[in-house]
Amino acid sequence: MIPPLKKLDASMLFQWMWSQKIYWILLLLIFLMRAPFVPAKGGEDQTQEFSKMYQRLNESVKEELKNPQKMALLSGLTLLGLGVLGVGSILFFTWGLEFMKHTRGDHPSAPWKFWDLFRVVILSFFWGQLSLMIVLVGCRWLGVKDLNDHLLMLVGTLWVDLLIFFFILYIVIGKAKGTLAHLGLTTQRFFRNVATGILGYFSALPILLMTLLTVLAVTQILKYEPPPQPIQEIFFMEKGGTLLIASILVALLGPFFEELFFRGFLYNTLKKRVSPMTALWVTSVFFAGVHANIFGFFPIMALSALLTLLYEKTGSLVSSITVHILHNSLMIGFLFLAKELGGL
């Protein structure tokens, strides 16, 4: 356990750090293992390939929109989007503002310690990195050279998510003697929480869109061209099994694991040290930081604030998982629509 700040001195800090020496060693090993086993095909080649393909996509979309059928499809979707935003605005003023006044949900106090947060992260990334090292060494030993970097990234991400899930359960249930309810995993008022999540998402859509448009305007003024996200490269460049795995991971599995960690574990951990509002924004900053570059940071931070608010008000991860799945599924739909319009 981390010593109380008011009683902290150099000797106590040293004793505590020494008692946790295994985690500092694992943290050092994570950095040492990372460099030598990066896949041989550089990310720069894939980024350049994606940039060229993205330019072709823009040109192709402009050409395809000359087709009356595709222009009608885009016009219909635009009208549908405007209608959804209109409904969202009405929901925000008639339901959203009242919802934000509700008292907080039933949150049992987190029985785990603040340092357990770092234990979970260190253990998960150490074993994830070690697994990657073993796979890459094994492939080199077997003479396998043409590894699909995108597939490797997806499988690696899923494996780390599973490790985080395992270590959270180990800490919360095995060590701290907590329950799934401490993490917000409860089926109480399940369908009501699903409905709350859907209403919350659509009522927040105008704010999320406003945030995105503001960032777009600033990037246009600064003439900043954000680098492509790895997941964009996968959805535009891959087909078949890799694309199916990516869709399942992004639309279904990712939202569950991320909500468990960021809302159920991280947010509840922070609330033991700071106010719920401070914990909400710290969680949102971390959530956006691990998901996006500068371009997507603020829109994703706004989405995270909504997810955390829903969890705080309902006391259940069901509402935030519902929104996360809905949002990611819509984003995947837009990517497939762009490919369809571009004739890819």
CA torsion angle 153 157 160 161 (round to 10): -170
Helix pair 115-142, 149-169: axis angle to 10 deg: 140
3-state secondary structure of 187: coil
Q: Would you state the pLDDT for residue 241?
A: 85
Among 24-33, 207-216, 271-280, 329-338, the least confident range: 24-33
pLDDT at 222 exceeding the cut of 50: yes
Q: How many CA atoms lie within 13 A of 196 on its CB side?
A: 25
The whole-chain average pLDDT of the chain stands at 83
pLDDT at 344 exceeding the cut of 80: no
Contacts 24+ apart (CB under 8 A), 276-283: 276/104, 276/312, 279/308, 280/305, 280/308, 280/309, 280/312, 281/305, 283/308
Residues in CB range of 192: below 8 A, 6 or more apart: none
The residue ranking higher by pLDDT, 132 or 327, is 327
The residue ranking higher by pLDDT, 214 or 56, is 214
Among 24-28, 118-122, 141-145, the least confident range: 141-145
Mean pLDDT computed over 170-193: 93
Instruction: Determine contact, residues 306/205, Cβ cutoff 8 Å.
Output: no
Q: In the structure, how many helices (H) and strands (E) does the chain have?
A: 15, 0
Show the tokens assigned to 126.
């150490």
Mean pLDDT computed over 112-116: 92
Instruction: Determine contact, residues 235/246, Cβ cutoff 8 Å.
Output: yes
pLDDT at 45 exceeding the cut of 70: no
Mean pLDDT computed over 310-318: 94
pLDDT at 229 exceeding the cut of 90: no
Domain range list for the chain: 83-112+188-341
Measured in Å, how far apart are the chain's first and last C-alpha atoms?
54
Contacts 24+ apart (CB under 8 A), 46-49: 46/149, 46/233, 46/237, 47/227, 47/228, 47/233, 49/237
pLDDT at 38 exceeding the cut of 60: no
Q: Would you state the pLDDT for residue 19?
A: 74
* Predicted confidence (pLDDT) per residue in 206-215, tens digit: 999 999 888 8
Q: Would you state the pLDDT for residue 124?
A: 94
| Confidence band, pLDDT 50/70/90 cuts, at residue 339 | confident
Q: Of 144-153, 192-201, 240-249, 269-278, where does the model show the most confidence?
A: 192-201
| Confidence band, pLDDT 50/70/90 cuts, at residue 105 | confident
CA torsion angle 238 241 246 247 (round to 10): 110
pLDDT at 35 exceeding the cut of 60: no
Instruction: Tell me the whole-structure pTM to 2 decimals.
Output: 0.86
SS3 per residue for 55-81: HHHHHHHHHHCCCHHHHHHHHHHHHHH
| Confidence band, pLDDT 50/70/90 cuts, at residue 270 | very high
Mean pLDDT computed over 1-10: 55
Going from the C-alpha of 32 to that of each of 16, 39, 267, 291, the distances in angstroms are 24, 15, 30, 24
| Confidence band, pLDDT 50/70/90 cuts, at residue 39 | very low
Show the tokens assigned to 82.
């405007």
Q: Would you state the pLDDT for residue 343?
A: 60
**Which of these, 246, 262, 252, lies nearest to 155 by C-alpha position?**
246
Q: Give, as one character, the DSSP assignment of residue 9.
A: -
Alpha-carbon distance of 152 to 146, in angstroms, equals 11
Q: Would you state the pLDDT for residue 20?
A: 77
Instruction: Determine contact, residues 168/293, Cβ cutoff 8 Å.
Output: no
| Confidence band, pLDDT 50/70/90 cuts, at residue 41 | very low
Q: Would you state the pLDDT for residue 292?
A: 66
Determine how many CB atoms are found less than 10 A away from the CB of residue 165. 18
Alpha-carbon distance of 33 to 55, in angstroms, equals 36
| Confidence band, pLDDT 50/70/90 cuts, at residue 217 | confident
| Confidence band, pLDDT 50/70/90 cuts, at residue 185 | very high
Show the tokens assigned to 66.
């000359």
